[in-house]
Every structure is written in structure tokens, then in C-alpha cells.
């Protein structure tokens, strides 16, 4: 995937440069601080069905983008310009902000998250646990608020991350610093247009990217991932989980997401494999 990643990272940096340049200065070389820090942040949305490898792709793109700016801008020194923020951090809210509302999959009320403890408070806990990872189990309102702050505020922002050890989000696990002017928003629903909060956040993305993979390949990767992570005990359970939850979530997001400006075709590349996600 090296060629695809190189081309995509080049497209991202070119689009970001255009975003940060004032029209009157177009075509002129600017100092790093003028060119990259002029207008807030540039948001890249990276989506794809479960098992597409979007997390791994986002991390690889982030490395290439930062390498580009270090090489082309002496003033960048060792400071990273790009950072990856994963949507999985919003699969649960901090305990102090949990809603006490009745929770249903199609509720238009307060957004409530999907940590295992919180799922027990849904109107149908068994269904909530079974469908963990569906769009309605995420804190869409919290994610939208964060994306809005990325564009409105230039200071340091705390973002939640996800622990694959505890299988729950970690509040404040990542800091988006003032120097992080290119933010790669990675996750299933970063381009979703169904639901007010998801749609509002998706509209704020400057460059939408889709990581594409066929359902058969995705299923094989997800079965391996679930077995490796200990989520299920045997292959039959893994196959059932993928068919009942992961694949429907993928079809839903593909049918209801923004049209991507860039497409990456996912292939199995051992060099890109991450410990917490199939390539």
C-alpha cells in the first residue's frame, strides 16, 4: 500500500496548504508558522467499514504527513503537525456526564455512550451489548462538540482514547496541541450523514477519505481480530458476531456517509499491521 499511502499523504498536505494559504498569497512560499498556523485546523475524515484497516491507514498517513513537513519546513524541527484522533474514544462518556434518560437505539434525546457499564443502562441492555459499535451506541453529541472545538479553538484540547486492554474509553487519553494543525479523524462514522450530530460533525471535515475493502475480506480480518482479542471463544462465535453486528454496521455507514474525495483500497500488508487492528 506504500504507493497509495504516499499519494494520499501528498494529496492531504496539498489540500492543507491550500486551506492555510490566503488567496492573495497563493503560489508564494511562506514561512512554516505563516503557512501552517494561519487558519485554525484542517480536518481529514477517514472512514471505512469494520475491518477495512482505517486505523492503521490513518497512523501511516500521519507519519508521512509529519515527515513531509519536517523535510520541507526547517522551522518545523521535530514538532508534529498532524495527529490522529480515533472515534472509538466516544464509544463511552465519562461517568460524571452520563444521561439518566431512557435510552433506546432511535432516541433523539441526550446522547449516551457505549462503555460496558453504560450499556447496562440502555432500554434494552442485551441488544445494546450485542450491537456495541452501532452508531446509536456512540456519544455522537460529544464527538460533534469536540469537532466544533477543533475549529473554534486553537489551544490544547483533550480527546478520549480507547483501551484495548479494558475494552473501554479513556477520558483525556490524547492531547491535541496548538501545533497540531492537521487532525486525522478516524473511525466508522466520521463521515456519517444520518443523525443530526453525526451529520453536523461530518460537514466540518475538509477532506473526506474512505478506506475500501470487500465484505469477505473484512469478515476474515474481523474473525481473526475477535479471536486474537479474546472477545469470543471460538471461530463460530466470531463469525456470528461479525455477521450480526460488524457487517451491518459497515453497510449502514457506506449507505449513509459523505461522498469521499479520496479512496484508498485496503490490501493485506504485513508491514502495516497494528497490534489492535487487522490491516
- Tell me the domain boundaries of the chain: 1-15+36-93+109-266
pLDDT at 97: 39
What pLDDT, in 10s, does the model give residues 209-239?
Answer: 999 999 999 999 999 999 998 888 899 999 9
pLDDT at 268: 78
What pLDDT, in 10s, does the model give residues 145-159?
Answer: 999 999 999 999 999
Closest by CA to 89, choosing from 138, 123, 124, is 138
pLDDT at 267: 83
Query: Where are any strands of DSSP class E within 51-154?
Result: 82-86
The CATH class, in words, for 1-15+36-93+109-266 is alpha beta
Burial annotation 39-74 (CB, 10 A radius, 16+ → b, else e): eebbbbbbbbbbbbbbbbbbbbbbebbbebbeeebe
Average pLDDT of the chain is 82
pLDDT tens for the chain, 279 residues long, are: 899 999 999 999 999 999 998 533 544 444 444 444 445 899 999 999 999 999 999 999 999 999 999 988 766 666 799 999 999 999 854 333 333 333 334 333 333 344 666 666 666 666 656 667 788 789 999 999 999 999 999 999 999 998 877 777 888 999 999 999 999 999 999 999 999 999 999 999 999 999 999 999 999 999 999 999 888 889 999 999 999 999 999 999 999 999 999 999 998 765 555 545 533
pLDDT at 237: 92
pTM of the predicted model as reported, rounded to 2 decimal places: 0.82
Closest by CA to 40, choosing from 143, 149, 184, is 149
Closest by CA to 66, choosing from 53, 79, 56, is 79
pLDDT at 211: 98
Nearest 10 degrees: Cα torsion 249, 272, 265, 192: 30
CB 19 within 8 Å of CB 151 = no
Amino acid at each position: 500500500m506504500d504507493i497509495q499511502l504516499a499519494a494520499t499523504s501528498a494529496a492531504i498536505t496539498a489540500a492543507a496548504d491550500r486551506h492555510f494559504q490566503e488567496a492573495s498569497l497563493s503560489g508564494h512560499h511562506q514561512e512554516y508558522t505563516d503557512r501552517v498556523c494561519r487558519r485554525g485546523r484542517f480536518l481529514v475524515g477517514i472512514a471505512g467499514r469494520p475491518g477495512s484497516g482505517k486505523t492503521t491507514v490513518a497512523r501511516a498517513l500521519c507519519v508521512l504527513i509529519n515527515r513531509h513537513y519536517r523535510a520541507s519546513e526547517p522551522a518545523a524541527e521535530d514538532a508534529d503537525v498532524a495527529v490522529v484522533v480515533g472515534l472509538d474514544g466516544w464509544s463511552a462518556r465519562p461517568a460524571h456526564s452520563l444521561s439518566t434518560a431512557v435510552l433506546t437505539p432511535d432516541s433523539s434525546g441526550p446522547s449516551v455512550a457505549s462503555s460496558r457499564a453504560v450499556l447496562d443502562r440502555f432500554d434494552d441492555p442485551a441488544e445494546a451489548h450485542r450491537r456495541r459499535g452501532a452508531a446509536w451506541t456512540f456519544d455522537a453529541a460529544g464527538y460533534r462538540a469536540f469537532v466544533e472545538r477543533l475549529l473554534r479553538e486553537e489551544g490544547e484540547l483533550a480527546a478520549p482514547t480507547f483501551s484495548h486492554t479494558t475494552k473501554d474509553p479513556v477520558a483525556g487519553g490524547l492531547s491535541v496541541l496548538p501545533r497540531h494543525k492537521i487532525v486525522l479523524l478516524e473511525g466508522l462514522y466520521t463521515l456519517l450523514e444520518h443523525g443530526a450530530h453525526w451529520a453536523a460533525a461530518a460537514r466540518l471535515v475538509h477532506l473526506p477519505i474512505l478506506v475500501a475493502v470487500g465484505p469477505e475480506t473484512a469478515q476474515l480480518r474481523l474473525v481473526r481480530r475477535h479471536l486474537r482479542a479474546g472477545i469470543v471463544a471460538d471461530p463460530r462465535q466470531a463469525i456470528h458476531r461479525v455477521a450480526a453486528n460488524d457487517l451491518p454496521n459497515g453497510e449502514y455507514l457506506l449507505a449513509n456517509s459523505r461522498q469521499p474525495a479520496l479512496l484508498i483500497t485496503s490490501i493485506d500488508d504485513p508491514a502495516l499491521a497494528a497490534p489492535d487492528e487487522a490491516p
